[in-house]
């Protein structure tokens, strides 16, 4: 297991600090805060998420905000995961440009491969 990235440690520490300010029932004592932060970091980092700063900083902040707004007692790390928004969808790559000549070559190659396999395709062929 890899060591948690610094950005991740920072985000969890900041989120825990915001929760501590709420003084929720069952919250850790102030002298336990550092151990609590480390426990949350360890518990969350090992989740099969593939944490990524670019994708997850805003998600972690939003989850802590949701958690702080809804918690009536000290939460556990699983509850943070339940509040984690979905990752934003990455834009799809555009279709690669293909000339008509390349398209014809590709079709001819596919037909050749089908013949070599002993198969025939009538897709796209016009029978007149």
Among 2-6, 41-45, 81-85, 123-127, whose mean pLDDT is lowest? 123-127
Between CA 47 and CA 45 the distance in angstroms is 5
Residue pair 64/19 in contact by the 8 Å Cβ criterion: yes
What is the phi/psi pair of residue 19, to 5°?
-70, -40
Write down the pLDDT at residue 69.
95
- Domain ranges in the chain are 6-83
pLDDT in tens, 58-89: 999 999 999 999 999 999 999 999 999 999 88
pLDDT in tens, 30-63: 899 999 999 999 999 999 999 999 999 999 999 9
Residue 15 CB partners (closer than 8 Å, separation 6+): 60, 61, 63, 64, 67, 80
Residue 124's pLDDT band (boundaries 50, 70, 90)? low
Which two structure tokens, joined as six digits, stand for 95? 């279709």
Between CA 42 and CA 45 the distance in angstroms is 5
Residue pair 87/110 in contact by the 8 Å Cβ criterion: no
């Amino acid at each position: 297991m890899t060591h948690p990235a610094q950005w991740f440690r920072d985000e969890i520490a900041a989120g825990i600090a915001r929760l501590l300010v709420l003084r929720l029932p069952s919250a850790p004592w102030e002298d336990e805060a550092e151990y609590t932060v480390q426990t949350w970091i360890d518990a969350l980092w090992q989740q099969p998420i593939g944490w990524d700063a670019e994708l997850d900083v805003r998600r972690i902040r939003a989850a802590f905000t949701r958690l702080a707004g809804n918690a009536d007692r000290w939460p556990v790390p699983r509850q943070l995961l339940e509040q984690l928004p979905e990752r934003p969808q990455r834009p799809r790559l555009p279709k690669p440009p293909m000339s008509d000549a390349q398209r014809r070559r590709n079709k001819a190659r596919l037909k050749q491969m089908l013949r070599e396999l002993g198969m025939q395709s009538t897709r796209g062929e016009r029978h007149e």
